[in-house]
Structure 1
Amino acid sequence: MTAKIKWLIPFCVFLPALLSAQFRKYSNEFLNIGAGARGLAMGSAQVASVSDGTAGYWNPAALVHVKNQAQVNIMHAEYFAGIGKYDYANVAIPLSDGKRTIGISVLRFAVDDIPNTVFLVEPDGSINFDNITTFSSADYAFLFSYAQELKMNDPDKKLNLGFNAKVIHRKAGDFASAWGFGFDAGVQYINKKLQVGLVARDVTTTFNAWTYSINDKMREVFYVTQNDIPVKSTELTAPKLIAGASYNFRINKSVNLLAEANLDFTFDGRRNTVISSSAVSIDPKIGLEAAVKNVFFVRAGINNFQKALDDDDSTYSKKIWIYQPALGAGFRLQNVMIDYAFTNLANQSNPLYTHVFSLKLDLVKKNKNK
């Protein structure tokens, strides 16, 4: 990372924000990035159609589609010119009855080499660049998933239920750390080509309990610069409801087209979304996937619709709709699936593009008769 990019993160503003975390509208946002290049390429519209190990993130009920053999999923992505590194790994294990599956997922988002400029200015007012050090900030999440298929009288219909128990650990250098706990619940209904999914995230209100390690010298700097001196605090993540539906359009024997739409419902006040009110805000997501012989896949999606000022308007009074686009592709070779996504962390008018790669591996059981 170049020195110019490092200085785009002024520590004098960044650290006090980290250390004063309490009850926030946006909490544990790294858990909203996504998992797997397939889902990211489809604009994160996944709660209805997901059918692999990444369901532990998108909709735990869909883990029941992992049958007969265990499955491993891994993903890596870098954001902000490599400043932010995002990794995901999952293992899904079907149980012997074929109707239940358990899974473990790990997510990590980290930013390294953040300048610590707390002691940049000496007591006499002079600037001493030798006092600058660096630190890392990392967020971890561990998801423990369970899914079960319920018995239905109609063989064309299926109903799946799933749950997540998650443990969160966040750390900002040696200054602050937090542990958090929460739960998700999901359901998936399948009727031939139609699939419907519903997920309640942070259904019991996920919390992070923060503790701080601030020495006397740093406390003095915070006091002189009129920054709050942090104390033990709790950061809450409000519940979110995600509803989605997908449909498979069989074009011919070789080509299949899958379309999915999701609606994210938040209840923590007005947000900049398509539908916004003090009671509920609704954010739509749309994704498409074309499959050729279930071997080659092409995907596209859009999400994160927001109203923003038009950059071409000299008066800055005109607002336009912006969105976050995504494209991707995938290739299957026997029990190996390789996926790629080209996504935008921001929107089409302020692009922050990144490349995402993920790998899916079905652990085929050995035939004992051979």
Structure 2
Amino acid sequence: MKRHLFVLLIVSQALWAQFDNVGTSVANFLKIGVGARGSGMGGAFSAQVDDASSMYWNPAGLGQISQPEIQINSTDWIFDVKHQFFSAAVPTSAFGVLGVSVSYLSMGDMLETTHYDPDGTGRKISASDLAIGLGMGKKISDRFSFGLHAKYIKETISFSSGSAIAVDIGTQYRTSFQGLIIGMSLSNFGSKMRLFGTDQLIDVDIDEDLDANPDAQGRLDTKDWPLPLVFRYGLSVSPIGENSLIKTDLVTGIINFEYIDPRDYNPFFVLGGEFEIINLIIVRSGVRYTYYKYDDSLDESHSFDALTKELGYVPRFSWGIGLNSKNFPFIPYALTVDYSSSNMGVLGFVSRVSLTLGI
């Protein structure tokens, strides 16, 4: 098993060497955390994840699912943007656990503005993002799990759209020390995307010195942009529980640590925890330390020099709560309802609601 982990680490570092952490990327909706469970812990979830949302956090977590499962996630993102994520997973005897996922982000209608009409053309346009994926997770042994998630991605704005394909790959290794789990994942490794459509068509005067020549139709040249490649390295430990260091059958406690390295932003780290009380109520909390160059507590009354003051790593807190049906025998299915709220600084708070159903 150590060899498997070592090989994955070397391969992931080699892939990372292809990119500089300086540019922009496309399809950034792929970085929006899904599910109230993982988001309630700030996103520290790649080592612990063991439900259908694994196809986002770490597809190796699919291998831990023992019964068919459906999960529906809804996020009230910033600026009235809505994000939904649907996932389903089914265990099989030959291929491990197979899954399907659908991620959809909608922005509603907005007024169109152009270079020639900066105040608006009077026409409304819409924008949306879509990703459809197929996943597979399998236990290689009682300690080591491997997972893969392939997806088709499409972005649309007005009459222009672009598409790409990508894969997510991950591993989980369960040790014998206090429930320690080591998780690693690589997300959104795939092709580049270019927007293409009738919005790029323009009328061009080939020779402005000639008065009688008609305009010709030209096309604006758009560029290819990479997907937001993300590495996750996570640790999960269970210090409280029936078979843990602090022995009790009333509370199960899990602590997670995660180092996240996006290709288009500074690396950051997250500390989160989940505590299940009497197999009924689940409380979660997390803190994300993200690097900020600007003090978002300052306003326009401050000087430009103060506004651009570097702060370093700033904490952003998340919390969540969940209820499950373990103590309700009259409910024939394994049902869990989760809610989370995440602090986005000057952008306010983001709320998520999740429903997980085990059949």
Common topology (TM > 0.5):
yes
RMSD: 2.6
Paired position in structure 2 for 1:163: 148
Paired position in structure 2 for 1:100: 96
* Change in 2 beyond 3 A, CA 1:79/1:361: same
Asked if 2 retains the 8 angstrom alpha-carbon contact of 1:244 and 1:262, the reply is yes
1:219 deviates by: 5.0
1:24-63 alignment, distance < 5 Å: 25-63=24-62
Distance 2:349 2:163 in 1: 31
Asked if 1 retains the 8 angstrom alpha-carbon contact of 2:27 and 2:155, the reply is no
The one-letter code sitting in structure 2 at the alignment partner of 1:189 is: Y
Runs of 4+ residues deviating >6 angstroms: none
> Does the residue aligned with 2:29 lie in a helix, a strand or coil?
helix
Distance 1:50 1:219 in 2: 53
Asked if 1 retains the 8 angstrom alpha-carbon contact of 2:76 and 2:351, the reply is yes
Post-superposition CA distance 1:144-191 (Å, at most 9, x none): 111111135xxxxx10001111110110022x1011101111000012
The one-letter code sitting in structure 2 at the alignment partner of 1:70 is: P
Paired position in structure 2 for 1:245: 235
Indicate the percent of aligned positions where both proteins have the same amino acid. 22
Paired position in structure 2 for 1:328: 320
The one-letter code sitting in structure 2 at the alignment partner of 1:91 is: A
* Change in 2 beyond 3 A, CA 1:139/1:292: same
Match of 1:264 among 260, 266, 281: 260
1:208 deviates by: 1.8
* Change in 2 beyond 3 A, CA 1:233/1:289: same
Normalised by the length of structure 1, the TM-score is: 0.75
Paired position in structure 1 for 2:86: 89
1:197-236 alignment, distance < 5 Å: 197-203=183-189, 205-214=190-199, 219=203, 230-231=220-221, 233-236=223-226
The one-letter code sitting in structure 1 at the alignment partner of 2:114 is: V
Aligned residues: 304
Paired position in structure 1 for 2:354: 358
Paired position in structure 2 for 1:285: 270
Query: Greater CA deviation, 256-265 or 44-53?
Result: 256-265
- Structure 1 unpaired stretches of 5+: 1-22, 153-157, 221-227, 274-281, 364-370
1:202 deviates by: 3.0
Match of 2:290 among 305, 313, 334: 305
Post-superposition CA distance 1:86-129 (Å, at most 9, x none): 001000011036x710111111111112111238749xxxx7x7
Distance 1:266 1:357 in 2: 25
1:214 deviates by: 2.8
* Change in 2 beyond 3 A, CA 1:58/1:219: farther
Distance 1:185 1:162 in 2: 6
> Does the residue aligned with 2:55 lie in a helix, a strand or coil?
helix
Distance 1:108 1:219 in 2: 34
Post-superposition CA distance 1:254-281 (Å, at most 9, x none): 112111011112456xx4x3xxxxxxxx
Match of 1:319 among 307, 310, 320: 310
The one-letter code sitting in structure 1 at the alignment partner of 2:340 is: A
Paired position in structure 2 for 1:115: 111
- Structure 2 unpaired stretches of 5+: 1-21, 205-217, 241-245, 327-333
